[in-house]
Amino acid sequence: MASPPPETPQQMRILSLGLFRTGTYSLCQALTTLGVSPVYHGLNSLGNNTDWALLSAAADATFPNIPTYRGADRPFSRAEWDSLFGSYSAVTDVASIFGATLVRAYPEAKVILVERDYEKWSKSVNETVINSLWGTVPDFFVGVVEPLLGSVAGPANRKMLLGWAGVRDEKELKARLRGAWERHHKEVREACAGQEGRLLEYRMGDGWEPLCEFLGVEVPRGEDGEVLPFPHANEAKALRRKIVEQQVNMLKKLAVATVPWAGAAGAAGAAWWLARTQGWF
């Protein structure tokens, strides 16, 4: 799992800008094994309202197509990025939304671009990302529960995804997903152009060697001298469970705040309902 941030600032070493659902959690674990730690992953931010407020502000400064865009004359500064990522040595997953912007913000960092087959990627994104942000259950949490609890996670997620894709709503997002996917890789490559040795294009399954060569470290081995297995995390399962846990916690907080004696029963009922709607049984 991703390491917790230290109290002191770190030098940003790696920008892993392969999109969400490209094996980002496995790569996060691999970087940690290679001594690049701590690594910021989207799973860090679930339940962290401060992070989501900063990510929301970053979206406002980055994407002209969203209603809250603050204008080209007010880009997100290095100091603002550091308030979010400054305690980490590497970023991945949710950070990829800001792709080329981060390449320019952290010129000292090397860049890893993981590309996955589009058809497999889009299927995974629709199932685990888009369907967790739009639909009957997500609309209830984003429109009702989160505002009552002062949470900005859901709206920030939606804003970031729509801003990244350059669209206005879920329908356009699905229709233009491939174009956004292609543009993302093109922009990251262009941002690294002319900087020899800065960019590694990597595919999950390539193993340790290209990653270790890029970072200038040895392939990791166990005490017996055997090469350690490359991490293979079930990110989709971890994400779904995290989302359900977070939703149950929000409903419990809401129940306790409104009808204290209903808190435990409400949480139990919420857990059953969410498990059913998310296909857990």
Residue 136 placed within a domain: yes
When mean pLDDT is compared across 63-67, 127-131, 182-186, 233-237, the lowest value belongs to 233-237
Domain presence at residue 116: yes
Q: Are residues 251 and 220 in the same domain?
A: no
Quick one: 266 and 248 in the same domain? yes
CATH code of the domain covering residue 137: 3.40.50.300
Q: What pLDDT was estimated at residue 260?
A: 53
Predicted local distance difference test score (pLDDT) of residue 121: 96
Residue 254, C-beta contacts closer than 8 angstroms, at least 6 positions apart: 145, 148, 149, 266
Q: Do residue 277 and residue 245 come from a single domain? A: yes
pLDDT for the residue numbered 151: 86
Q: Let me know whether 25 and 92 are in one domain.
A: yes
Number of folded domains in the chain?
2
pLDDT band for position 268 (50/70/90)?
A: very low
Examine the domain organization and report whether 55 and 27 are in the same domain. yes
The answer, yes or no, to whether residue 8 has pLDDT greater than 90, is no
Q: b/e per residue, 221-253, with b = 16+ CB within 10 A?
A: eeeeeeeeebeebebeeebbeebbebbbebbbb
Q: Are residues 226 and 274 in the same domain?
A: no
pLDDT score of 39 more than 80: yes
**239 and 217, same structural domain?**
no
Banded pLDDT at 279 (limits 50, 70, 90): very low
In terms of domains, do 120 and 242 share one?
Answer: no
> Residues 183, 265: one domain?
no
Domain that holds residue 160: 14-233
What is the pLDDT, as a whole number, of residue 271?
46
Identify the domain boundary among 201, 217, 233: 233
> Quick one: tokens of 104?
């320019």
Task: Write the single-letter amino acid at 101.
Answer: T
pLDDT at 177 over 50: yes
Rounded to an integer, the average pLDDT of 33-38 is 96
111/85 Cα distance (integer angstroms): 15
Q: What is the pLDDT of residue 47?
A: 73
| 55 and 158 fall within a common domain | yes
Does some domain include residue 192?
A: yes
**Shared domain check, 271 and 187:** no
- How much of the chain, in percent, has pLDDT values that exceed 90? 68
pLDDT in tens, 97-112: 999 999 999 999 999 9
Query: Does residue 9 belong to any structural domain of this protein?
Result: no
Provide the pLDDT confidence category of residue 29 given band limits of 50, 70 and 90: very high
164 and 238 part of one domain? no
pTM as predicted: 0.83
Q: Report whether pLDDT(19) > 50.
A: yes
Q: Is the pLDDT of residue 158 over 90?
A: yes
As a whole number of angstroms, the distance between CA 115 and CA 96 comes to 12
Assigned domain for 180 exists: yes
Q: Which of 144-158, 163-177, 266-280 ranks highest by mean pLDDT?
A: 163-177
pLDDT at 189: 98
Give the mean pLDDT of the chain: 86
Taking residue 205's Cβ as centre, other Cβ atoms within 10 Å add up to 8
Residue 69 lies in a domain: yes
Residue 8 lies in a domain: no
